């Protein structure tokens, strides 16, 4: 297995575990004491984690570092993720539709 493969698989392990815990990136990054952009790059397979980062992630997931690494090494571990969390804030109750209907222009 090449470095890029294990890097991508490790990112998927983190993403899958975070989504299974029903945590957003901001919430999990705060729990792991890392920056959200670092977490995002890691989950996309664009960041090679060092031991300090793996330790922070393991503590946030309440597992040993070896568990995360073993999941990334295990080629039988599925790479599919649980359903994603909804993105953004929920829409406010009817405010936009009320505003639009009152601003109809006449020609």
Ordered mean pLDDT values, 10 residues apiece, the chain (107 residues): 84 94 95 96 93 97 96 72 57 56 55
What's the pLDDT tens digit per position in 26-49? Answer: 999 999 999 999 999 999 999 999
Torsion of CA 45, 29, 77, 65, to 10 degrees: 100
CA atoms within 13 A on the CB side of 11: 17
Closest CA to 85 of 21, 2, 41: 21
| Angstrom distance (rounded) from CA 33 to CA 64 | 17
DSSP helix/strand/coil, 13: helix
């Amino acid at each position: 297995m090449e470095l890029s493969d294990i890097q991508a698989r490790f990112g998927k392990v983190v993403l899958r575990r975070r989504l299974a815990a029903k945590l957003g990136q901001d919430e999990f990054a705060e729990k792991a004491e890392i920056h959200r952009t670092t977490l995002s790059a890691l989950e996309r397979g664009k960041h090679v984690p060092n031991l300090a980062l793996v330790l922070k992630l393991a503590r946030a997931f309440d597992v040993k570092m070896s568990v995360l690494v073993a999941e990334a090494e295990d080629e039988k571990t599925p790479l599919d993720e649980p359903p994603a969390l909804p993105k953004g804030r929920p829409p406010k109750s009817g405010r936009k539709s009320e505003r639009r209907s009152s601003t109809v222009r006449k020609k």
